[in-house]
Structure formats: structure tokens, C-alpha cells
Amino acid sequence: MPSFRWFLSSFRLRSRMGCGLMVLGVSALCAAPAGLAQQVASVATPDTAEVAATRAKAIAMRDAFVAKVKAAGFSCPIAPPAIVVTDIPSWGNYNEETNTLSTSEWTLLQPREKAFFKMLAGPNATDAEVQELFDRASHRWIFVHEMGHWWQACRHQDAKPYATEYGADRIAMAYWREADATVVPRMMPVFHVVLDHMPSPVPDGQEVEAYFNANYQTLGPSPAYPWFQSRMVVTAFEETPAPTFAMTLGQTK
């Protein structure tokens, strides 16, 4: 799975969208604030205490997801995924072969990644606000999306790429609506911005899902991928009536 590499790409579309783009309630500027490069030029040695704290939070998030699965009346024949905190470019990825879920940590980010979040948060954002933005994106939305892929492995799902990614988005959407109602409203502007400003990559006369499935291997690393993921999330958001978390679990086959 290309996981959420599209997430970073979606923000980089700002050059096509113009200045003053509002994303997640903060301004993504067309140029980095003055002095930003100097602020993030040096990378401190990773703080093992902070990495340990991130691992503990990720384990708690994983366990909360698993507990909610059990509360919904479901079980999984495989163990909850092991948590690995590492400098993963996609900021989150579930590996079915090793049953591990990798997530990142602020102190492990490359300077360009920290500069990216600093730019998103705006020139007047505090360090705490910048890190909170990173945490919301990677340790909430992306993490639960990847737990959705774990649940698909639990169900031995053998679906085509579109159904697999859309299914994980539906699970994440339903989970956060029930677990923390503030997450979805703060994430949706990202996906709407991509759809509003990026033209559809699907050729005229072709269906979105069929095109995605037929071209999945080449779409994953391409600039077109953000459009597809954003469309899936918005479609899940607009589903009426909105499915419960238990419903999305049961519909994973």
C-alpha cells in the first residue's frame, strides 16, 4: 500500500492553489517564513524519552482501537500489530507480512519535514502548535487509517485497491466520529481543498474506481494519488446515513 504518502503530496499542491490556503484551520503560505530554514537547519539527537512516550501513546491508541473492535462484538485471529516508532516518510504504515504498524515522532523528522509543518502552522505558530498539527495528522488520522488495514488483514480481505483504501477511510471516519468528534471536522478541509483545486486525473468516459484499480501501481507514487484518496475520504464523510464503527467493521469482507 502507498499508505498516506499522498498526505504530504496534497499539501505540496499549494503551488497550484495560490497563497493563503487554509488547511486544517491554519494558513499554508506560498513561501516559507523568513528565517525558517535556519530554525530547522540543525537536527537534535533523537530524544529517546520522547520516542518512548510516542510509542506508549501509539500503543494506547492501538489498544483503544482494539477495545472498540471487541466492544462492537468482533474479534481478530491475529494479534494487535507491534508498534514501531521510526522516521517513516509516510508518517504511518501497516505491514501485513510482519504485523507491524510504523509511526513517526517529531524528534525523528527530517529538517524539511519540520519546516513543512512549521509553514503549515503559519509564521506566528508556537512550537507546541506546530507539533500538535503533526500529531493530529500522523498519530490520529493516519494511525487509525492504518489500523483499518490491520482489521482488513484480520478479515482476510481480498479486495481490489480502491475498495481496500476506501474501506480503511470508512473505518477511520466512523471511528473518530465516535471516539473524538473533533478530529473529523479538523481534517476534512485538507481533502476538500485537494478536490476543489486539483483537476480530476480520470480520463473522460472512465469510471473513477475502475481507473484506480487498473492503474494502481503507477498512481501510488504519482501526484494524482492525493485526488483519489481525498475523493474517498469525502465520499465516506458524505455517506448517508453515516455508518457506525461496528457497521464498517462488519462490512469488511
Does the structure show a pLDDT above 80 at 4?
A: no
pLDDT per position as a tens digit, 102-157: 999 999 999 988 887 787 677 898 999 989 988 988 999 999 999 999 999 999 99
Question: What are the CA-CA distances from residue 162 to residues 92, 135, 150, 173, 200 (Å)?
Answer: 19, 27, 16, 16, 16
pLDDT per position as a tens digit, 63-80: 999 999 999 999 999 999
Q: What percent of the chain has pLDDT over 90?
A: 61
pLDDT per position as a tens digit, 33-63: 333 333 333 333 356 899 999 999 999 999 9
- Per DSSP, 200 falls in state -
* Residue 121 near residue 26 (C-beta atoms within 8 A): yes
Q: If 0-12 CB within 10 Å is exposed, 13-18 middle and 19+ buried, where does residue 226 land?
A: buried
**How high is the pLDDT of residue 21?**
28
Q: What percent of the chain has pLDDT over 70?
A: 81
Helices then strands, counting H and E runs in the chain, come out as: 13, 5
**How high is the pLDDT of residue 79?**
98
Domain of residue 88: give its range: 5-250
Q: What is the pTM of this model?
A: 0.80
Total domains in the fold of the chain: 1
* Residue 252 near residue 151 (C-beta atoms within 8 A): yes
**How high is the pLDDT of residue 156?**
96
| CA 100/CA 3 separation, integer angstroms | 14
* Residue 231 near residue 195 (C-beta atoms within 8 A): yes
**How high is the pLDDT of residue 228?**
95
Phi, psi of 206 (to 5 degrees): -110, 150
pLDDT classification of 169: cutoffs 50, 70, 90: very high
